[in-house]
Amino acid sequence: MEKEIVFVTHNIGKIKSAEKYFKNLKFTTFNYELDEPRSDDIKEIATAKVKEAYEIVKRPCIALDTDFRIEELNGFPRAFVNFSLDTIGINGILKLMEGKENRKCAFNECLAYHDGENIHYFYGKHPGNLSEKMQGVDREEKWSDLWYIFKPKGFDKTLAEMNKEERENRQKADGSVQAMQEFAKWYENQK
C-alpha cells in the first residue's frame, strides 16, 4: 500500500510547484505556518519545520526551506528572505544594488522528508542575476516576491515575466536543480 505524503506549508506557490513534480506521488497538503528557528542554515530550518510538521500530522511529511543569496551583498538576505521582504522589501533590495555590476544571485532549497523514523534531505539550486527593476506579473506558482527581480541564469526575463512553459524548460538551460524533483525521483525509487 502506497503511503501518503503530507506537505505542511501555508505557501500556495510551493503547493503549486509540488503538484507539478508530485504527479506520480500520493500527497496532500496541510495549510499551516510552521515555526522557523532564527538560523542562517536552511537544513537546520527545514529539519525543525519537518519535525514540527510530523508532530502535527503524525504521517510521513515534507517541509521546504529556501534561502536567497546575492553575491555582491555577501550572500544577503540568506535564510532571512521573509524578514528582508517585510522590512526593506523588493525596492530596498534594488536600492542596495544600485550601481552594482555584479548582479549574480541564487535560490537554494532544502527539502526535508520525515518518514516517522528518519529524516532525508534533498537540495536544489537556482542560479541567476538580479534585474534592475521589478518586472513581470503575479503568478499562482509564485512563492516569493523575489520572482519579480530574479532572472534565471542565461535568461533576460524574470521568473514573473516567464510563462509556465519557459519556467519549466529553463532548468535545461540554467543548470537549476529542484529539491522537490530530486525528492520525487528518490521517493518513486523507494517503492
- How far is CA 35 from each of CA 10, 39, 48, 65, rounded to the nearest angstrom? 11, 12, 8, 11
Confidence of residue 191 (pLDDT cuts 50, 70, 90): low
Structural element, H or E, at residue 129: strand 119-130
Q: Catalytic one among 40, 65, 67, 156?
A: 65
Number of domains forming the structure of the chain: 1
pLDDT digits (tens, 9 = 90+) for 77-118: 999 998 999 999 999 999 999 999 999 999 999 999 999 999
Residue 129 structural domain = 5-190
Instruction: Answer whether the bond into residue 77 is a cis peptide, omega within 30°.
Output: yes
65 catalytic? Reply is: yes
CATH number of the CATH domain containing 150: 3.90.950.10
- Mean pLDDT, the chain, as a whole number? 91
The residue with greater pLDDT, 160 or 23, is 160
Please give the Cα distance from 65 to 121 (Å, whole number).
11
pLDDT at 129 over 60: yes
User: Are 78 and 138 spatial neighbours (Cβ–Cβ below 8 Å)?
Assistant: no
The pTM assigned to this predicted structure is 0.89
pLDDT value, residue 159: 92
